[in-house]
Structure 1
């Protein structure tokens, strides 16, 4: 739907739309459906139910969806002619088999293969901070509902950030933003580790002071700035290089690789926390806590397993070091992909 010169804004439409949809479909609905929230903030006379029910909410947005998509179908027309009155090159329609053949040919292309390899390794440095930090805060005693509540003020920021960042990613070199935001996101990972280490010392009578939540909120906001800078830049580059012959399929391939590059390090980070954690048995001489069997024997002998070194901190440092190595060694190589000619990204069967 976007013209070629505005294709860099595709990532902005994507991220703003998803964030706004999450807010309307989750946060807004939960608030309006809650009788307590409505009675406390929106009503003069309390009632037993919220302002809306699930069925009413779904019906309303179903109507909005039908109306909006119908308007797009009726009012949005394909431009049959390009600039200067020249007729546009017809975009080919491929069958399913031909499309998958094209996907194979895309992956075999040197530029795409290099880019996919970089995408699969770029997020290793963020895996501990992004995946384990929230769990460690809960483990330290921070209520889960309080952490969930802190996500609400982030919604306006998450909507505004893509709009601001798109000014810098809509040009010919969107990955420059990705490269510059990379080290800042790594530093935020270290800051997260310090925050987790500091958290238990602030707990008083099972609660945390207000300024602690303000610091957590500020840290989360900084993380969102770095995260969205990289996300919007990456999506803008996907839109820029995708071959219009199978543009949607091409972008889906790149987005899938991007998501996979974030998911496998996160899974590994969660799995590695326990093996990297060091525990010792206190209260039972000659016992250890190196395995679940040894821990059970320690408890049976009247001891208790105490964590001497949390694997989360080990992971945080290792991930940041890996991330810095990637940034220094491979980050510039990723930027140089922007210098490739458009032909380097065009797909052909048989390549």
Structure 2
């Protein structure tokens, strides 16, 4: 039934849409593991500093613009421009998945000494997926025919988020022994329905199978572009036919689309072409041509062929101003003709523009404020007793809500995007305080489950926090599109998004290290001396666990018991030894309080230096 409806709606295009969704889903699998699941699994055996080191593995997704010109320029023509990258990358990622499945559990259990190896493995996986994303983004705009081109962003959203949820929410839920024993099993077990090694092996094999099928049974297809024109008696003269063919050829080979979707897993630039199509026919009063907004009405003056582009009236071409490409390389060169070296030089020129430098500096110094929430909040809730699957389930409700909110908020940010961004920033700072209070007043569960009322409260706090961050994202995206030089629209927007994304990624390591340094905790374990051999055995076991976390162990003998104290051991390991976990000083509250004060100060800095940029005529 569903297939019939989809086939009726999409026709022969359904096959290409399914392929795009699958390719984006594959990217979402390691992304969900690196950004969501692995930090939770590390929490039991690793310190906050070590989890911060692991966050370095996520950097490639924020920095993929640095090598995207290479992906665009080098390929095997006979195999396919995009398949030349997608197929070998997926096969390599599949091999890495299968290989690490045999020792991933050992690495996680010894995370204190193996954190560098874990980080390198997942850094490689994210680098491969970021590179594949460059190729898939570009292929998305050529594999679909023009009437269905707008579905590219939908494929990206569905695929990436589905993969992310499979590796984060679904995996954490099904791998939980408590969830499986309560809802899925009649006979209890100490393991969940799925395990991490089995999950990695399954996807590794599937990666390779899909890659082989893609290599031999899927051809790269080009979009057929058709122009619709008004009918005039002499429109189809030979001269215009020749020009139509030239224009069509140029459009089909345009490469800007490969750069327009590289900001993040959930963004897709609407820019398709770098310049409007210009036709000259003195006898025609009006005709329609293709540009970035698909159809532009061009009026031509019979005397001097003056062209007025209604959709691009704010372009950098106005009033005789040259684009950055024209200024650098001449009037006739287009973005598709640029070599990687030329693209890198243009990127440097963009970064050195005065307003871009101010924008970049303000992003870098301002976004660090939100890291106590983004990096440590879920770990603190986990430490308080909230289950991993409960935290992961927040995303199921957040995702559709944020999609709807994004559509609504896009209408608010049109005229004053940076003003909205600054105001949303202050709201985000307020929710740092709210989230800190939610941790401080979290109820003592004593091994039980959280009440539905408190779960709903945490969900609402998480949802409204996400709204403020999403409003900032929509605002900055709107402003980036507004100021981008249309001659290199894709590259320009992607560079700005790269700066913004990296500003929100780099501080994670430093914030988690700071929280770790400012936190002091201990685990007190009472061991009876009635059975000396048992006592010796238990003492040895606990000492081994503490050594894995580079903690300090103190043994105090009093009458009939030994009191073993571990400094800075995780709460989960302490509970496994039937110990009493106590935090003497929690660095999270200190860092979050500092972030709130700093954020209020930065808000006034933003109002003074950031919001005036939106008034500039760029």
C-alpha RMSD over aligned residues: 4.1
Q: Give, in angstroms, the shift of residue 142 of structure 1.
A: 0.9
Q: Partner of 2:260 in structure 1?
A: none
Q: Partner of 1:348 in structure 2?
A: none
Residue 273 and residue 96 in structure 1: after superposition, are their counterparts in 2 closer, same or farther (change >3 A)?
Answer: same
Distance 2:226 2:589 in 1: 53
Q: Partner of 2:425 in structure 1?
A: 182
Residue 299 and residue 176 in structure 1: after superposition, are their counterparts in 2 closer, same or farther (change >3 A)?
Answer: farther
TM-score using structure 2 length: 0.43
Q: Contact 1:162 / 1:232 at 8 angstroms: preserved in 2?
A: yes
Q: Deviations over 1:193-247 (max 9, x none)?
A: 1111122x24144211111110111011101110100011111111111112222
Residue 247 and residue 76 in structure 1: after superposition, are their counterparts in 2 closer, same or farther (change >3 A)?
Answer: farther
The 10-residue stretch of structure 1 (246-255 or 217-226) with the greater mean CA deviation from structure 2: 246-255
The 10-residue stretch of structure 1 (91-100 or 308-317) with the greater mean CA deviation from structure 2: 91-100
Q: Contact 2:384 / 2:444 at 8 angstroms: preserved in 1?
A: no
TM-score using structure 1 length: 0.73
How many equivalent residue pairs?
304
Q: Deviations over 1:32-75 (max 9, x none)?
A: xx9x99xx9xxxxxxxxxxxx9769979xx8xxx89x958x225
Q: Give, in angstroms, the shift of residue 95 of structure 1.
A: 1.8
Q: Partner of 1:208 in structure 2?
A: 450
Q: Contact 1:193 / 1:316 at 8 angstroms: preserved in 2?
A: yes
Q: Partner of 1:298 in structure 2?
A: 554
Q: Partner of 1:22 in structure 2?
A: 160
The 10-residue stretch of structure 1 (329-338 or 20-29) with the greater mean CA deviation from structure 2: 20-29
Q: Give, in angstroms, the shift of residue 330 of structure 1.
A: 2.7
- Stretches of 4+ moved more than 6 A in 1? 13-17, 28-31, 56-59, 87-91, 280-283
Tell me if 1:80 matches 2:305: no
Q: Give, in angstroms, the shift of residue 15 of structure 1.
A: 8.5
Q: Partner of 1:321 in structure 2?
A: 597
Q: Contact 2:367 / 2:504 at 8 angstroms: preserved in 1?
A: yes
Q: Contact 1:15 / 1:159 at 8 angstroms: preserved in 2?
A: no
Distance 1:156 1:279 in 2: 39
Q: Give, in angstroms, the shift of residue 324 of structure 1.
A: 1.0
Q: Partner of 1:124 in structure 2?
A: 368
Distance 1:14 1:188 in 2: 34
Distance 1:74 1:222 in 2: 43
Q: Deviations over 1:146-205 (max 9, x none)?
A: 111221111211211111111112x23211221111111111111111111122x24144
Q: Partner of 1:335 in structure 2?
A: 611
User: Per the alignment, in what secondary structure is the counterpart of residue 122 of structure 1?
Assistant: helix
Q: Partner of 2:25 in structure 1?
A: none
Distance 2:555 2:453 in 1: 38
Residue 198 and residue 83 in structure 1: after superposition, are their counterparts in 2 closer, same or farther (change >3 A)?
Answer: same
Distance 2:159 2:608 in 1: 35
Q: Contact 2:402 / 2:466 at 8 angstroms: preserved in 1?
A: yes
Tell me if 1:247 matches 2:489: yes
Q: Partner of 2:507 in structure 1?
A: 265
Q: Contact 1:136 / 1:196 at 8 angstroms: preserved in 2?
A: yes
- Structure with higher Rg: it is 2
Distance 1:76 1:319 in 2: 54
Distance 1:136 1:243 in 2: 44
Could you tell me which of 472, 486, 489 is aligned with 1:230? Answer: 472
Distance 2:395 2:383 in 1: 19
Unmatched tracts of structure 2, length 5 or more? 1-150, 184-201, 228-250, 252-275, 279-295, 300-306, 310-316, 318-331, 526-546, 558-562, 568-581
Tell me if 1:104 matches 2:242: no
Q: Partner of 2:434 in structure 1?
A: 191
Residue 180 and residue 14 in structure 1: after superposition, are their counterparts in 2 closer, same or farther (change >3 A)?
Answer: farther
Distance 1:139 1:76 in 2: 59
Could you tell me which of 362, 383, 396 is aligned with 1:152? Answer: 396
Q: Give, in angstroms, the shift of residue 298 of structure 1.
A: 3.2
Distance 2:462 2:422 in 1: 20
Could you tell me which of 489, 505, 519 is aligned with 1:277? Answer: 519
Residue 315 and residue 269 in structure 1: after superposition, are their counterparts in 2 closer, same or farther (change >3 A)?
Answer: same
Distance 1:15 1:183 in 2: 30
Correspondences of 1:34-49 after superposition (within 5 Å): none
Unmatched tracts of structure 1, length 5 or more? 1-12, 41-52, 284-291, 343-351
Q: Partner of 2:95 in structure 1?
A: none
Q: Give, in angstroms, the shift of residue 269 of structure 1.
A: 0.9
Residue 144 and residue 326 in structure 1: after superposition, are their counterparts in 2 closer, same or farther (change >3 A)?
Answer: same
